[in-house]
Chain A
Amino acid sequence: MSAVATQLVRRPSVVAGTLMTAATLFVAFAGPALAGSPDEFVGAPFQGPGGDAPLGTDVMGRSVLARLLAGGRDFLLQGILAAALGVGAGVLLGVALASASRRVADLVLSLNDTVIVLPQIVIALLVLTRLGATPLTLVLVVGIVHVPQSARVVRAATQRVVTQDYYDSARTLGASRRRLFTGEVLPNIAGVVLLELSIRLAISVVVLASLSYLGFGSTDTQWGRMIHENQGGLTIQPWAVLAPVICTGVFLIGVNLLRGGTVRALAVR
């Protein structure tokens, strides 16, 4: 493993990615303590930077900076939890599907595929209309929506592994199921899982922002909600929209760089 660690540290993309991710996480998690009141009115709506509002004011004349600092933690947490929930369940299901007996796999697979063909946006709209958009329902809806897709991708990757010669030879040599899983399958699907995780994280954040845009966001101060409530003013006070977009963007770019570098480091090994 130390060889992998060395490979990782040597890659500029991994270093840059770590820095960007860490910086955003710091802003998001330390922000609420640093921020002034995110609800205080400091000027007229959609004023440019200056005075009490270094990044200008939002649609109601509150400080964009204060809201930016206050609104990252819950938003990122929701995205991270949703992605972890979705991919975690997806990996378990996907690997199980690829290694289960044919009959069981067929049954679960058709159930899984049934869930996949359910239009996710419809389910999200119906569930959120029924239960209301709270942090919990949002995480569950967005996370569960990932499961069948992740399971499918993981299963495809696992299947590719089990049809490879080295897997065949390992099995012929009498390796145990567990050994096959940890020794052959996991390392070979790790890239796909990481790819999936980072992509699902990106999608979670994007879906949360989009749901917020469609009016299905939770009502507390959050980057997603900031984008939503200020998007009309993009041309007159761009910072109100761009500040949360940039923060979300830096986080996602960081995660993606980290993932890209890691995938390549693993590939080199």
Chain B
Amino acid sequence: MIEFINRPVVRLTLIGLIALVVQTTLLADLKFDGIALQIMLAMSIGAGISGGSERGALAGFMFGLMFDLVLSSPLGLTALVYGLVGFLAGYANLLAVANPWWLNALIGAGGSAAATFAYPVVATWVGVDGWLTTRVIEVAIVVALANALIVPLAAPVMRWGLVIKRRARLAPPPEIFA
């Protein structure tokens, strides 16, 4: 049983389901000027920060896919955007030798803003018109500010989810020497 829970896929599924419940219940209710905060996005960025670009992309894809399954938007749209943002968050984190909390917050804000802009752009590209409006700017600002606070908290959770030991994370990533 413990062996089973220690698998990253199982842990990620567990985290994803809990985050999805929070997203579809609490955060769907607590809206700021009609804007819902995006914890699934914060978790994807947190995965990138904790596990690097590849794991970030994988976790982002997984969380996005789970989110897509409860939305009426095209399946794969959120998976694509969250996967890319998870990848970019991991990539941005690689450029820094250490990862203090403020850097995580900065990556969280930047990644969230990028994802909020990318989402309607990709939607328009696949044929879902009408999402790309000036309101996206307001949504991006609110989501970015909120995720700047959530991502530093999400990063340790995702470290647990990806089964990464803290000592291993503090060592310089192997890509530095590549």
Asked if A pairs with B, the answer is no
Residues of B within 8 A of A (CB): none
